[in-house]
């Protein structure tokens, strides 16, 4: 399995914030606002290029 592990998910006044841990151990934050936009913080390219399965 090469998927992020979801640590917590909670709603804010702006949208739904999801914290996840990457397969490499880094934290990643994802926010989906109520108008449909997605914002990601802490993302990193090294893992997506490494995952080839
Ligand atoms: Zn990673």
Return per-residue pLDDT of the chain as tens, 53 residues.
567 899 999 999 999 999 999 888 889 899 999 999 999 888 777 776 555 44
Sign for the pseudo-dihedral over CA of 18, 28, 5, 3: positive
How far apart (Å, rounded) are the C-alpha atoms in residues 4 and 11? 19
Chain mean pLDDT for the chain: 85
How far apart (Å, rounded) are the C-alpha atoms in residues 53 and 18? 25
The residue range of the domain holding 18 is: 5-50
Question: What residue spans of the chain are helical by DSSP H?
Answer: 45-50
CA of 41 from ligand 1 middle (Å) equals 12
Q: Which two tokens stand for residue 6?
A: 């979801």
CA of 43 from ligand 1 middle (Å) equals 7
What is the pTM assigned to this prediction?
A: 0.70
β-sheet bridge partners, residue 34:
none
CA of 19 from ligand 1 middle (Å) equals 13
CA of 16 from ligand 1 middle (Å) equals 22
Q: How many domains does the chain have?
A: 1
The arrangement of strands across the sheet holding 38-41 comes to 5-11, 15-21, 27-33, 38-41
């Amino acid at each position: 399995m090469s998927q992020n592990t979801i640590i917590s998910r909670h709603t804010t006044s702006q949208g739904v914030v999801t914290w996840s841990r990457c397969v490499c151990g880094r934290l990643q934050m994802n926010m989906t606002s109520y108008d449909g936009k997605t914002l990601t913080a802490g993302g990193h390219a090294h893992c997506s290029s490494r995952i080839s399965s």
